[in-house]
Amino acid sequence: MAQGDVELVSRSLQLEQKLFHLDLKDNPRGRYLKISERTPLARSTIMVPLAGVVWFVDLFNYYANGGDQGQLSSKELQLDSKVFYFDVGENPRGRFLKVSEASLTRGRSTIIVPATTGAVPGASDDGWSAFRNALVEIHEASLTLPLPGAAPAVNVALAAAAPAGYAAGAAAAGSTQENMAGAGGSAGGAAGAAASRVIVADQKRFFLDLGSNPRGHFLKISEVLGADRSSIIIPASAVAQVHDALAQLLAVLHAQGGPSSQPAGPVVRTLGPAPKRPEK
C-alpha cells in the first residue's frame, strides 16, 4: 500500500486459478479502485478512478450478457487522464477479457479475467458475471462511506464469493445493505448500481443513483466538487415530472442559442468486434 493510502472497502474472488483483489482506497488525491490479479507466477494491477467504477460495471455487464445480439466488441473507456481497453480473446483454456490501463504516469498494465469461474463445469461467462457483481458491491459500499475528512475511514470486508448472475451474494449483500439502511436507504442491490450514472462537467461530478428505503423508491442526485458533496432525493413518483421539466428547459436553452448537449467526462468507444469463436 502506498504511503498515505487508506483501504476503505475490499472484495476478493477466485476465477479458475487466478485470485483477484478489488480494493477501494483513499489518499490525498482522491479515491480509486485498485484491481490486482494474482497467479502463482505473477501479479498485475490496474488503478480505476472512483468515477470509473460504475462504467466498469456497465462494461462487464455488457460482456457477461453476451454483448449486442451475441456479438462482443472491443471497447475503449477514456477516463480522466487514463484510457482503458477491453478486448475479448480465447486460448486453449477458454475465453478471457483483457483489461488494459494506459496512462502517462503508470505506462500500460493489464489484467486477464477468465470468462468462467471454473467452479461449475460448462458454465458460460459466469466469471465475468461474478467480477461484475464484485464491482457492484464495491460501488454500493462506496455510497455509504463518509466524505473524505468527515470521519475515520472504515474497512468493509466483502469476501464471500458472488454467485453467477446479477444478484449479489447473500452474505455480502447483508453487510452492505445494513450500511445502506443506516445511510437512509439502499441502492437497490446489484441492479441499483447498474442504474447509476456519472456526469462530469468542468470540475464537478454528478452521481445519479436509484435507491429504495421503507418509504419506497427514489432517485438520489449528488453533486461533488473536491471534498464538498451535496445531495437531493427525488421520490420515484416525481422522476417523470423532473424529466419533463428538464426537457422543456433544454429546449429553451437551445432556442436561446445555448451550448448543445455534448458528452463530457468518461467516453466509451467501440473499437471493433472480438475474434469469432472457432466452430466445434
SS3 130: helix
SS3 106: coil
Strands ordered across the beta sheet of 18-27: 43-49, 30-38, 18-27, 6-15, 156-158
Distance set, CA 195 to CA 85, 136, 179, 187 (Å): 23, 11, 19, 9
CA 77 to chain centre: 12
Backbone φ and ψ of 193, nearest 5° = -65, -30
User: What is the spatial distance between Cα 253 and Cα 145, in angstroms, rounded to a whole number?
Assistant: 36
pLDDT per residue of the chain (280 residues) written in tens, 0 to 9: 556 788 999 999 999 889 999 999 998 888 899 999 998 888 999 999 888 898 999 899 889 888 877 788 899 888 777 889 999 998 888 889 999 998 766 778 999 999 987 766 655 668 999 999 999 999 888 888 876 655 443 343 333 333 333 333 333 333 333 333 333 454 444 443 345 676 766 667 787 888 888 888 899 898 877 667 788 999 999 999 999 898 888 888 888 776 655 555 567 777 666 655 554 4
